[in-house]
């Protein structure tokens, strides 16, 4: 375990690898996860790791440019950290390969699905591969012959698969770009004697590779280069910033290399020549398996259409109030409503915006969009609202990583229609998930709001565990109105007594609430903090939690991703218990519960306990004032605390040990238990 001994903090980038290991554990879990779902977990692991190298490892490498004396003062050791990262990733990659070869491939075969390579093609397979190659590939493949001694070079595109081809004449390399962007990664080779045969497009190219070059082929090795994904952009304002980001997206193809993943079967001398040709350092080289880009396994075909190979479908649970409502404004005005994804449909949000878009009494719609979905009911309703003369203000976060292009494209569509679009602020992201509708009622303006933990994205709502509050509470909606005034540049600081709003009050209020539990514990009274989040990193919050633990506050944390806090250390954090849940859906909700002398306080919203969420982003968390909804959300949190199927213990050694079932205790898989709880309640 790598720690900052002076502050008792785990290294965030090393601990993130512990999170991704939990994803690998899901790929291994034959007992609870069907075959195709385990393949998806391999895809998730692969996709996560690609982004990690493009962003986090890239950032560490950039630190090397900082003057050595400054790095020393800041305790920055990027080279040392990167080496530790590579060592851990190498072990995980080996585990990944074992899962694929020793579990996935045999389990596919048990279900009459044969994934065959070019070396296993029968004559029939060879004929089918020839036909497919001629029809789909022959005239479109990009190849290049490179002679390093003559100063030849080649640019390897980011995240793109290539074959590096070696020849009997070892003075040159051949490169073949594998066109997975224009072709399916997998090719159906038909059914024979009850077995379905599938091959990679990669293997069809391998099968025909000799025909692509005039030289005798000696070896064919798959490779993929990851490049720096961060955009280094000067301070700009509004649309100018958005335009700058839009133009800068090309940097993602040309950024600094961060990792070359290559087939470990490549001889060392050839790998060395390849490294020098691509001007890479030894630290950039990462040996891997025969195939890369396992995120393509999200789309691995199932010719058997066997439902047992997939998760059983869980139909949406109809919300007992919203499902029957003909007038959302009347319903929300009467009582706050709480929705839970993916157990309920995202349509409840869409229906509210749809109703607002055609309601003659609605004057304004304001929304913050962090990751804009492709064309959807929500975006269509917003466009319709503009057409119907509503004053529509849309704040679009142009810097939402990997969604910049789509977000800005949608911003332009809204602008072209006549909507008011506000883009990112320099040096701050808008991460809040908020919606406000203003409606004329009895000659007065009444505000309605939605505050959530997840993005306004109907597709991700099907796989992310999130919560959302519909409310017409006058004090909460008044403060939401002030948040939008900040986004519109009409206010600098929003006065608030109810909402937690970053970067203005969230840190101060959280620190006050934690300190309050400390003071209570020191008086010998019960004190407790229960919190669920994606990541825990802020050193000041962690220091306070350590202080609370030492004072006797009982702290129970659920942290899905990485954590810098070290739980269970005697004299430091023995009163802190932490678990992580990785399961069928992505845990994404943030819920904070404080004992508060028996009069519990709960907040829900978009912010993790990370420095960026507290100090450098616009975030909104809402208190839960409605007693019924408080009990409902608290019950969901408690179910997650009891998970003994998919929860892992987070300890100082980062063992990722599953929470064990106690004698006589029932198995509780929290995501399924929450579904059953909500189904019974609704």
pLDDT digits (tens, 9 = 90+) for 132-172: 999 999 888 999 999 887 777 888 888 899 999 999 987 89
Q: Please state whether beta strands 586-587 and 464-471 pair in parallel, antiparallel, or not at all (unpaired).
A: parallel
CA nearest neighbour of 376 among 331, 405, 413, 402: 413
CA 26 to chain centre: 16
| Residue 464 labelled as part of a binding site | yes
3-state secondary structure of 446: strand
CB contact at 8 A, 493 and 504? yes
Q: Which residues contact 246 (CB under 8 A, 6 or more apart)?
A: 404, 405, 408
According to DSSP, residue 571 is labeled T
Any known ligand binding at 658? no
DSSP β-bridge partners for residue 609 = 536
**Topology classification of domain 502-681:** Endonuclease; Chain A (3.30.870)
Residues of the chain with CATH 1.20.58.310: 1-111
Q: Which of 50, 204, 14, 214 is nearest to 125 (CA)?
A: 204
The response to whether 447 counts as a known ligand-binding position is no
310 annotated as ligand-binding: no
DSSP, collapsed to helix, strand or coil, labels residue 421 as strand
Say whether 370 counts as a known binding-site residue.
no
What pLDDT sits at residue 489? 87
Measured CA to CA, the distance from residue 369 to residue 456 in angstroms comes to: 6
Residue with token string 């959280």:
510
Reply yes or no on whether 431 is catalytic. Answer: yes
For residue 254, the model assigns a pLDDT of 61
Q: What is the pLDDT of residue 246?
A: 46
Q: In the chain, list all ranges with CATH 3.30.870.10.
A: 322-492, 502-681
CB-based contact 594:513 (threshold 8 Å): yes
- Residue 131 DSSP label: H
Distance CA 640, CA 642 (A): 5
* CATH classification for the domain delimited by 119-227+260-294, as one of 3.30.1840.10, 3.40.1710.10, 3.30.565.10, 3.10.300.10: 3.30.1840.10
The class that CATH gives domain 1-111 is: mainly alpha
Could you give the residue range(s) of every CATH 3.30.1840.10 domain in the chain? 119-227+260-294
Contact 50, 229 (CB under 8 A): no
Are 10 and 1 within 8 A, CB to CB? yes
Residue 405: per-residue pLDDT: 66
Other C-beta atoms closer than 10 Å to the C-beta of 302 total 17
Please give the class, per CATH, of domain 322-492: alpha beta
pTM here? 0.91
d(C-alpha 348, C-alpha 352), whole Å: 6
Measured CA to CA in angstroms, residue 532 lies from 159, 193, 474 at distances of 33, 52, 27
Q: What's the farthest any 2 CA atoms get from each other in the chain? A: 86
**Annotation-wise, does 371 bind a ligand?**
yes
Q: One of 319, 431, 473, 481 is an active-site residue; which one?
A: 431
Neighbours of 598 (CB within 10 A): 8
Euclidean distance between CA atoms 404 and 394, whole angstroms: 15
Provide the pLDDT for residue 244: 47
Q: What is the pLDDT of residues 311-360, one digit of tens each?
A: 999 999 999 999 999 999 999 999 999 999 999 999 999 999 999 999 99
Residues of the chain below pLDDT 50: 1, 5, 66, 70-71, 73-74, 231-246, 248-250, 252, 400, 402
Facing residues of 587 across strands?
465
């Amino acid at each position: 375990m790598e720690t900052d001994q002076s502050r008792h903090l785990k290294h965030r980038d090393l601990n993130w690898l512990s999170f991704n290991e939990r994803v690998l554990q899901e790929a291994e879990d034959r007992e609870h996860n069907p075959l195709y779902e385990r393949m998806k977990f391999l895809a998730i692991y692969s996709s996560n790791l690609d982004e990690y190298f493009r962003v986090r490892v890239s950032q560490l490498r950039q630190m090397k440019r900082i003057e050595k004396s400054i790095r020393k003062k800041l305790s920055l050791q990027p080279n040392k950290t990167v080496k530790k990262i590579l060592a851990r990733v190498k072990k995980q990659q080996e585990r990944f390969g074992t899962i694929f070869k020793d579990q996935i491939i045999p389990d596919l075969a048990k279900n009459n699905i044969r994934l065959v390579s070019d070396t296993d093609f029968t004559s029939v397979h060879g004929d089918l591969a020839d036909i497919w190659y001629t029809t789909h590939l022959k005239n479109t493949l990009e190849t290049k012959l490179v002679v390093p001694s003559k100063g030849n070079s080649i640019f390897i595109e980011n995240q793109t698969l290539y074959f590096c081809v070696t020849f009997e004449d070892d003075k040159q390399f051949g490169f073949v770009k594998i066109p997975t962007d224009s072709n399916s990664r997998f090719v159906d080779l038909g059914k024979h004697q009850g077995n379905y045969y599938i091959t990679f497009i990669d293997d069809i190219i391998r099968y025909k590779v000799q025909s692509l070059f005039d030289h005798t082929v000696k070896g064919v090795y798959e490779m993929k280069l990851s490049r720096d994904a961060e955009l280094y952009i000067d301070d700009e304002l509004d649309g100018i910033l958005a335009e700058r980001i839009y133009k800068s997206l090309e940097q993602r193809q040309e950024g600094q290399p961060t990792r070359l993943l290559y087939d470990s079967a490549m001889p060392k001398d050839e790998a060395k020549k390849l490294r020098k040709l691509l001007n890479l350092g030894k630290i950039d080289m990462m040996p891997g398996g025969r195939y890369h880009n396992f995120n393509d396994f999200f789309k691995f075909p199932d010719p058997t259409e066997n439902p047992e190979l997939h998760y059983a479908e869980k139909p949406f649970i109809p919300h007992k109030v919203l499902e029957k409502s003909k007038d959302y404004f009347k319903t929300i005005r009467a009582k706050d409503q709480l929705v839970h994804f993916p157990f309920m449909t995202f349509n409840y949000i869409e229906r509210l915006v749809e109703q607002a878009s055609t309601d003659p009494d609605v004057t304004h719609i304001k929304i913050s969009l962090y990751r804009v979905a492709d064309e959807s009911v929500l975006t269509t309703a917003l466009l319709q609202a503009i057409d119907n003369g509503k004053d529509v203000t849309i704040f679009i976060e142009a810097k939402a990583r990997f969604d910049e292009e789509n977000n800005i494209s949608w911003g332009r569509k809204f602008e072209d229609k006549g909507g008011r679009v506000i883009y990112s602020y320099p040096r701050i992201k808008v991460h809040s998930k908020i919606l406000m509708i203003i409606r004329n009622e009895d000659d007065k303006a009444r505000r309605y709001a939605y505050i959530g933990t997840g993005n306004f994205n109907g597709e991700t709502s099907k796989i992310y565990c999130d919560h959302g509050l519909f409310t017409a509470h006058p004090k909460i909606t008044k403060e939401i109105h002030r948040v939008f005034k900040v986004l519109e540049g009409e206010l600098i600081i929003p006065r608030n007594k109810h909402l937690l709003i970053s970067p203005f009050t969230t840190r101060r209020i959280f620190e006050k609430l934690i300190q309050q539990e400390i003071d209570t514990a020191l008086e010998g009274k019960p004190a407790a903090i229960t919190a669920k989040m994606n990541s825990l990193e802020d050193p000041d919050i962690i220091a306070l939690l350590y202080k609370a633990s030492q004072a006797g506050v009982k702290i129970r944390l659920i942290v899905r991703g990485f954590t810098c806090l070290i739980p269970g250390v005697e004299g430091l954090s023995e009163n802190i218990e932490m678990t992580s849940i990785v399961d069928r859906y992505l845990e994404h909700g943030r819920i904070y519960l404080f004992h508060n002398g028996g009069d519990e306080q709960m907040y829900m919203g978009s912010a993790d306990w990370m420095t960026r969420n507290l100090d450098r982003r616009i975030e909104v968390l809402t208190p839960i004032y409605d007693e019924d909804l408080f009990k409902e959300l608290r019950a969901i949190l408690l179910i997650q605390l009891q998970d003994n199927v998919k929860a892992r213990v987070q300890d100082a050694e980062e063992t990722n040990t599953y929470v064990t079932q106690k004698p006589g205790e029932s198995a509780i898989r929290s995501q399924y238990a929450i579904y059953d709880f909500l189904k019974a309640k609704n």
